[in-house]
Chain A
Amino acid sequence: DTGVSQDPRHKITKRGQNVTFRCDPISEHNRLYWYRQTLGQGPEFLTYFQNEAQLEKSRLLSDRFSAERPKGSFSTLEIQRTEQGDSAMYLCASSLIRRGRVEQYFGPGTRLTVT
């Protein structure tokens, strides 16, 4: 499968713990996006990378959130001191910005439950 992959698919953690999610984009895609989706809502943008550079962060991304994309390949999203409000589906998407083709390809998501 050469699509976007995410790990883990499910994560249950206790409030106050740290969690880290991983996203592997489609090979050679230069853009990588993180979104968060809560029940009854569409995905909401969190942040994105152009190669290894993080170019934009949403106001949704509090100081407890950090994302990296070392060497412009896979990306990690870490949440420190988790809160119950962090419970959501975290989606990763990648795209290759070229000749006007900007469509994003999504991973299966990581469902986080904070108890």
Chain B
Amino acid sequence: AQRVTQPEKLLSVFKGAPVELKCNYSYSGSPELFWYVQYSRQRLQLLLRHISRESIKGFTADLNKGETSFHLKKPFAQEEDSAMYYCALSGGSNYKLTFGKGTLLTVNP
């Protein structure tokens, strides 16, 4: 069974502070991990996928297979980063996504 856990429902930081959104997963094979973001009144959009190893909008995420984690990090948060963030896992040939419950990030001025 696939499971994604995001332990924090809410996370509040000040502008310029580092931010880390936690994600742990459970999957018996080799999953693909993603971070999706949903800004206010916008649709879900892909932020990062672990395979690409990119930095998008200053965010990075490293897959740690030993700890089964895929935490999202940014060294200096900006107010425009305020949004709902979902960690998601895809495994198997159907490529369906299993999402965590999401973390609402608020970056205060």
Contacts and interface: CB of A to CB of B under 8 A. Distances in A.
Interface stretch (B38-46, B61-69, B70-78): B38-46
Nearest to B9: A40
A103 B96 CA distance: 10
A75 to B, nearest CB: 15
Contacts of B32: 102
Is chain B's binding surface mostly helix, strand, loop or mixed? strand
A40 B100 CA distance: 10
B43 A108 contact: yes
30 contacts: A3-B43, A31-B95, A33-B96, A40-B9, A40-B101, A41-B102, A42-B4, A42-B86, A42-B99, A42-B101, A43-B44, A45-B96, A48-B94, A55-B94, A56-B94, A93-B97, A97-B95, A100-B51, A102-B90, A102-B95, A103-B34, A103-B46, A103-B49, A104-B46, A104-B95, A105-B45, A106-B36, A106-B43, A106-B45, A107-B43
Interface of B: 4, 9, 32, 34, 36, 43-46, 49, 51, 86, 88, 90, 94-102
